[in-house]
Each structure stands twice: as C-alpha cells, then as structure tokens.
Amino acid sequence: METKENSPGQVFGAKAGVLAQHVHARLEALGDREKARFLQRFFKTGPGEYGEGDVFIGIRVPELRKLAKEYQDLSLEETIKLLQSPIHEARLLALLVLIRAYGRGDAATQRRIHEMYLENSRFVNGWDLVDVSAEHIVGRHLRHRDKAPLHALAASSLLWERRISIMSTFHYIKQGEFNETIHIAGLLVADPEDLIHKAVGWMLREIGKRDLAIEEAFLKAHYKGMPRTMLRYAIEKFSEVLRQRYLKGGI
C-alpha cells in the first residue's frame, strides 16, 4: 500500500475520474474567440516575437482562478499533463492548481511540486506564467535552502528560466530579505532580453520600496552599464530630480 508521501492521488486528494483531457474540454467550452485574438496580440505570439506560436483560447485570469479552486484536488500527474498543454490558459490553470497544492501540502508534497516545476520549466514559457508562479513555488521552496538552483536558472540559455530566477526572489523581498535578489540582479544586469531588463528593474524597485539605500547601492555600482529599460523600471518611483540624475549619468 502506498504511503501519503509517495501517492500523488492521496497527497492531492485526487478527484476520481477527473483527467487533464476533461479540464481541456471545459476550457475549450469557455473560450472566447474575440478575447483569444486580443490575447494573441497582447502576448506577442507573431513570427519573431517572444511568444511566437503560443495558442490562446480566450479565458481571463479571474475565470482561471475560479477554475483552479474547483480543480484544486486534481492529481499531480494530471496537473503536469495540463502544464504541458499547447494552450496557454491550460498551462496557467495548471500553475494556479500547483500553487494551491503547494500551499496546502506537507513537506514531501512541496518538495515534489518544486521538483516537477523545475523539470517542466520549459512549459512555464510566458511572462505571466513565470510571474504568477515562480515566487510561490521556487522562491518559497528555496527560502531556507541552497540557492544553487536559482543561480543555474540565471545562467540558462532559456529566457523564461532566467526570468524564473529573478522573479522567484520576490518571495524573499516580501520577507525583507534582499541579498539573493541583489545577487541574481548582478548575474542578469547585462542580459540581452528586454523581458529580463523589466523583471530585474521591477525587483530592484520593490527592494527600493522597502530599503532605498540597498537599491541605490546596487544602482550606483551598475547604472551606467545597465540597459535603459532596466534602469527606468528600477527608478520609476524616485523623485523626478533623482530620476533625471540617474538617466543623465550624474550620480
């Protein structure tokens, strides 16, 4: 007989008979073609764009959050199948289910969810997918553990894995812990991708809301070589006078 630790059905309280294909059918029935067209444009799914080839069916996030509550007992195996879907909203729903499961789970369940998330990180392939999940699974899980997985993600050739690395640290920022964000920001300060510039700048700004001196110490060391978007995001809440000093290189 399987124990709670090694039985996904028991750990997740799996609904008998509920499969990923059932959830897919439910999502397709809820889809809206007009919303889908808007989302395809918004998430840059055209040729050469960062979301090239992604498929949307037109379901808004509030609707998906309601579904995540309804399907919160979906088994781990079926949730991962959902995460591997070509449909963006299915992947987002899977992540919302995993976040709920992680929050309710025991230590063994949380470890398995974290491991499966990293094993399937290639499917967390959109800025919204990263931003909604990274801090709640990767960041939370590694808070009191070795941060080597974050550093490996920061060195990845995949844009989304690098974004996971910095966005995971939002969990620490909210706890008043800034060292890991500063470290990851240093690793990514010369990243070529605009979506990394925005994420790093955003996290630096969040540090500044809590401890301006720490943010400014990083900026003074790096601002002259930072991508402009990263700098603009980081100093967005500064006074106009101070913003202009950074933008004009007069610090």
Domain extents for the chain?
1-123, 125-251
Our CA angle for 154, 60, 118, nearest 5°, is 25
pLDDT of 149 reads 97
**Residues with Cβ < 8 Å from 185, sequence gap 6 or more?**
166, 200, 203, 204, 218
pLDDT of 18 reads 75
Instruction: Round to whole Å and give the CA distance between 222 and 126.
Output: 27
CATH topology (fold) of 125-251 = Leucine-rich Repeat Variant (1.25.10)
Instruction: Round to whole Å and give the CA distance between 52 and 68.
Output: 26
Task: Tell me the whole-structure pTM to 2 decimals.
Answer: 0.91
The ranges of the chain with pLDDT < 50 are 1-16
Task: Give pLDDT tens digits for 74-124.
Answer: 999 999 999 999 999 999 999 999 999 999 999 999 999 999 999 999 999
Instruction: Round to whole Å and give the CA distance between 234 and 200.
Output: 8
Question: Torsions phi, psi of 249, nearest 5?
Answer: 70, 30
Cα 210 to the center of its chain, rounded Å: 21
